[in-house]
Amino acid sequence: MSNVYYGEYLQLDKVLGAQRPESDLINKEAHDEMLFIIIHQAYELWFKQILHEAGSVMTIMNKPKINDNSPELQLVAHRLYRVVEILKLLVQQIDIIETMTPLDFLDFRDLLRPASGFQSMQFKILEAKLGLKSKDRFGKEYYVSQLKPHDRQQILDLDGEETLIDLINNWLTRMPFANQDKLWGESDQEGVHPFWAQYREVYVSSLSDAEMNNMETFDLLFFEDVEDPDRKLSMAARRSALFIMLYRGFPLLHLPYRILGHLLEIDEQMATWRYRHMNMVHRMIGKRVGTGGSTGKNYLKNAMDSHYIFTELAELTSFLTERSKLPRLPDEMSAHLGFGA
In the window 248-307, what residues touch its own copies (CB under 8 A)? Answer: 248-252, 254-255, 261, 264, 268, 271-272, 275-276, 279, 282-289, 293
Residue from 37, 66, 125, 156 in contact with its own copies (CB under 8 A): 37
- For position 166 contacting its own copies by CB under 8 A, the verdict is no
DSSP state of 102: H
Contact 235, 225 (CB under 8 A): yes
Q: Closer to its own copies at the Cβ: 135 or 287? A: 287
Per rule CB under 8 A, count of chain residues that contact its own copies: 117
- Window of 128-136, 154-162, 166-174, 315-323 that interacts with its own copies by CB under 8 A: 315-323
Binding status of residue 31 toward its own copies by CB under 8 A: yes
102 belongs to the binding site for its own copies (CB under 8 A): yes
Name residues contacting its own copies, limited to 199-218 (CB under 8 A). Answer: 208, 210-211, 214, 217
Instruction: Give the interface segment with its own copies, choosing from 95-103, 163-171, 193-201, 235-243 (CB under 8 A).
Output: 95-103
The residue type found at 161 is: E
User: Could you say which of 125, 144, 183, 314 contacts its own copies (CB under 8 A)?
Assistant: 314
Pick from 63, 115, 192, 332: which binds its own copies (CB under 8 A)?
115
d(CA 154, CA 123): 13
Residue 9 interacting with its own copies (CB under 8 A): yes
Q: Are 79 and 57 in contact (CB under 8 A)?
A: yes
Distance CA 210, CA 219 (A): 17
Check binding of 20 to its own copies (CB under 8 A).
yes
d(CA 182, CA 199): 18
182 binds its own copies (CB under 8 A): no
Cβ proximity to its own copies: between 35 and 156 the closer is: 35
Neighbours of 123 (CB within 10 A): 19
Burial of 222 (0-12, 13-18, 19+ CB in 10 A): buried
With CA atoms as reference, report the closest residue to 263 among 48, 136, 84, 87.
84
19 binds its own copies (CB under 8 A): yes
For residues 188 and 211, which CB has a smaller minimum distance to its own copies in the complex? Answer: 211
Q: Which is nearer to its own copies, 194 or 292 (CB)?
A: 292
User: Could you tell me the smallest distance in angstroms from the CB atom of residue 149 to its own copies?
Assistant: 12
Segment contacting its own copies by CB under 8 A, of 97-105, 159-167, 169-177, 222-230: 97-105
Among 116, 169, 234, 240, binds its own copies (CB under 8 A): 116
Q: Which long-range contacts (CB under 8 A, 24 or more apart) does 177-180 make?
A: 177/239, 177/240, 177/243, 177/244, 178/235, 178/236, 178/237, 178/239, 178/240, 178/243, 179/236, 179/239
**Euclidean distance between CA atoms 333 and 276, whole angstroms:** 45
The answer to whether 242 contacts its own copies (rule: CB under 8 A) is no
Site for its own copies in 73-92 (CB under 8 A): 74, 78, 81-82, 85-86, 89, 92
Residue 242: CB partners within 8 Å, gap ≥ 6?
222, 316, 319, 320
Nearer to its own copies, 135 or 150 (CB): 150
Task: Please state, in angstroms and rounded to a whole number, the distance separating the CA atoms of residues 288 and 106.
Answer: 11
Q: Figure out which of the listed residues 24, 62, 66, 112 binds its own copies, where binding follows CB under 8 A.
A: 112
- What is the Cα 134 distance to its own chain's centre? 15
